[in-house]
Structure 1
Amino acid sequence: MKNIHKYIALTVLVTLSVSCKDEKQEMAHQKVAQFTMYVDSISRVATDETTKNWESIQARYEKVKMEAQDAMNQLENKMDMETLIDKADSKYEEYKAAVLLKRDAMLRENFRNSFFTENVGEDMKFEWVNKDNIADVYLHFIGTIEQNKDSYTREDWDEIKLIYEALDTRKNTVEKEGLSSKDNIKIAGLKIKFATLYQINRATAKSKENTEAKE
């Protein structure tokens, strides 16, 4: 009789153990599937759209991935699960790189456009600038810089310098189209003002960043 009771008890323990393993296996499959489906769904969206709320997408990704890994780690044999997670992770990182590249381009474009009343464009050819409006363009450009000079980082000043040089290239073309002496003199004064603003404030921004880095 005792042997029968021991057999029954052992059978129950084995059944519970198998049941527990099955539950863990099912949970791991479910969480890993949720993770891979999330990555698949995100990677189908155009990068123009995901750049708008990338932080929330990244936060959701990290949460779903962590849940998948935690469930997987409960298994004794998890090689297949790890392969699925690694594959989805690689796919996500490739997509993430494209999104961040796109977002950087958009931020750079918005930054450039903030100095003008027209879109600058990636090529910065300033084709909308002509002999009649170029003096006002310089005035608006440098006035915007002067107004916001304390907020620019060293990298911002480097970008501003590139914009300035591109505008100067356009000026060389406009001069040949009949730029008036009055506007030419006005622009010359603004160029001197820009040089002063750039030299002083870029140095200040660099010094500030160095101090913050040491702290």
Structure 2
Amino acid sequence: MKNIKLGLGIALIALGFASCKDEKQEKAQKTVDSYVTYVDSVKNVAAADLKENWKTVEAEYDRKSQEAQAALADLKDNSAATEKINASKIKYEEFRNQMATQFAPPAPSPKQQLRDALFGAGKIGDDMNFDWVNAKNIHSVYQQFVHTVEDNKDKYSREDWDEVKLMYEALDSRKNTVEKEGLTSEDNRKIAGLKIKFAPMYTVNRMGAKSEENKEAKK
């Protein structure tokens, strides 16, 4: 009798282990399937909604990806599940790259690129606000401006030179204000030297650019 009870006990324990094992595998498979489903579902979301919630999307993807990878250890034969995970991983990476391109800010216009080169990225926009130029930094602003023009004088078109002149005159206008706000005589002298350097460089190269365009037009 004792042997029968003992045998039944062992059988129940074994059945319990088997049941737990099956549940573990079933849960692992669901975890893998949940990851695959998530990747497929994200691709169907409108780009505008994705852009607004992209950080959340990425965080959820990372969580599900890690869980799916860990679940493979609980599957007796995980070859099929591994293939599914790898396929979804590739699919998501391709999708992520597409979104990165789509979400990227538009390239600045040629005019804005020129302004960024002359003053620094984002310093001068369409409002042409020079309030950030003050007595302490105006000499370095002139330096960057004149040296940038000098480095690119052979590349500028006539339209570029017109933009350069517009920006130069705006900077000069700001200098008139800054002079009353504590501009040192030393910086003023250095700026005067840069202005002397710029004037003939502008005149000669602006004329050269116009001449080149006239030649091209005749062709």
Per the normalisation by structure 1, the TM-score is: 0.53
Inter-partner Cα distance in structure 1 for 2:165 and 2:19: 87
Could you say which residue in structure 2 is the equivalent of 1:211?
none
Note if contact 1:39-1:92 (Cα within 8 Å) is conserved in structure 2: yes
CA distance in 2, matches of 1:61, 1:145: 44
Aligned to 1:171: 159
TM-aligned CA distance change 1:28 to 1:186, over 3 Å: closer
Give the superposition deviation at 1:45: 2.9
Q: Any idea what the Cα deviations from partners look like across 1:106-135, whole Å, max 9, x if unmatched?
A: 2x44xx3xxxxxxx4xxx489xxxxxxxxx
8 Å CA contact 1:125–1:170 kept in 2: the answer is no
Normalised TM-score (structure 2): 0.52
Q: Residue 32 of structure 2 aligns to which amino acid in structure 1?
A: V
Shift of the 19–184 alpha-carbon distance from structure 1 to 2, 3 Å rule, reads closer
- 1:53 is aligned to 53
CA distance in 1, matches of 2:21, 2:102: 45
Q: Computing the radius of gyration over CA atoms, which structure comes out larger, 1 or 2? A: 2
The structural deviation recorded for 1:2 is: 3.2
Give the residue type in structure 2 aligned to 1:53.
N
**Ranges in structure 2 where 5+ consecutive residues have no aligned partner:** 113-123, 138-143, 175-190, 192-219
> Could you say which residue in structure 2 is the equivalent of 1:189?
169
Cα root mean square deviation, aligned: 3.9
Per the TM alignment, residue 42 of structure 1 is displaced from its structure 2 partner at its CA by 0.8
Q: 1:187 to 1:58 in 2, by over 3 A?
A: closer
Calculate percent identity across the aligned residue pairs.
Answer: 25
- Structure 1 stretches (4+) deviating beyond 4 angstroms? 139-142, 183-188, 190-193
Q: Which moved more, 1:93-102 or 1:61-70?
A: 61-70
Q: 1:145 to 1:39 in 2, by over 3 A?
A: farther
Counterpart-to-counterpart distance in 2, 1:7 and 1:184: 95
Work out whether residues 25 and 76 of structure 2, in 8 Å CA contact, stay in contact via their aligned partners in 1: no
Aligned residues of 1:51 and 1:102 also touching (Cα < 8 A):
no
Q: Which amino acid aligns with 1:147?
A: W
Count of aligned pairs: 146
Unaligned 5+ segments in structure 1 are 113-119, 127-138, 151-156, 176-182, 197-215
